[in-house]
Amino acid sequence: MAQTILDLLKKGIEANHADKFRKGNLVSLPPTGMMIVTGDIHGHRRNFERILTYADLENNPQRHLLLQEIIHGGPENEYGECLSYTVLLDAVRYKIRFPDRVHIIMGNHDTAFITDGEVMKNGKEMNRSMCSAMDREYGADGQQIKQAMKHFLFSQPLAVRCANRIWLSHSLPSNRKADQFDKTIMDRPLEPRDIVKPGSAYLLTWGRNHDQLLLDTMAELLDVDFFILGHQPQPNGWRVAGMNLIILACEHNHGCLMRFNMEKTYTIEELMEKIIQLSSIE
């Protein structure tokens, strides 16, 4: 079993780097087809299954799917340990199957796992919980599999830019840290120092509560019109958090996704109309 998992993660890393639309840490998509955007999944297997059902990439070759923040949360084993890594492995399988149309971007829980940092969710330290579950399942091979998973997470792109000027990333730098963000991180190989404070990948994945001035500044810096992000919890599944920002969440029963045509430009009101409740998907 261990070698099968290691081979899977190696192929996932190769698929991340081989994405024909990726340059550096940015995936730039052409003005064709449909984009399906999801928010934080955090181990919610049922919503993950609904997302794949809705995307139906096998029968819709013009569609792209963005996934993010898959680990930390969801089902637990009998010892109360986090099993979200099983959802991540299924996401890797989907990426390998559709390497140029499934885009899994880096989130802050990913950087925390890579760096062995502490990250709390619902009163539980999630890295410790998930690592314990992996050690219990894989035994002596657990450490090697965890290391391979870190390499996969490190290989993820940071963002997707659609030709219709919509930017998709886990978050944006916070108001106080935006001046420390270096956009050239999108054009060069990622380094370990980038994912720890105050590295630019860290800033891009951990920032919260963006005011309109920050959003307008980042839109100009990145040459986009709208941001679709995750990261910030949304009890209702989504929220308009600025004149050019929508935040999505997929980690609970009110989770949502968004679908839009990459050949069209949109207003914020039109993007709001493209939001779909995951619970409506059989």
Whether residue 90 is predicted with pLDDT greater than 90 in this model: the reply is yes
Q: Which range of residues forms the domain containing residue 66?
A: 2-280
Section 72-80 average pLDDT: 96
pLDDT value of position 20 = 97
Compute φ and ψ for 28, nearest 5 degrees: -110, 115
pLDDT value of position 47 = 98
Q: If you average pLDDT over every residue of the chain, what do you get? A: 97
Q: Rounded to whole angstroms, how far apart are CA atoms 265 and 58?
A: 26
- Contact assessment for residue 210 and residue 248, using Cβ atoms and an 8 Å cutoff: no
What CATH number does residue 165 fall under? 3.60.21.10
Whether residue 9 is predicted with pLDDT greater than 90 in this model: the reply is yes
Compute φ and ψ for 254, nearest 5 degrees: -100, 15
Whether residue 241 is predicted with pLDDT greater than 80 in this model: the reply is yes
Whether residue 156 is predicted with pLDDT greater than 90 in this model: the reply is yes
pLDDT band at 173 (very low <50, low <70, confident <90, very high): very high
Total number of domains constituting the chain: 1
DSSP assignment, residue 223? Answer: T
Section 151-156 average pLDDT: 98
What percentage of the chain has pLDDT greater than the value 70? 100
Closest CA to 277 of 87, 51, 3: 51
pLDDT value of position 208 = 95
Positive or negative torsion for Cα 261, 266, 268, 274: negative
Whether residue 1 is predicted with pLDDT greater than 80 in this model: the reply is no
Whether residue 123 is predicted with pLDDT greater than 90 in this model: the reply is no
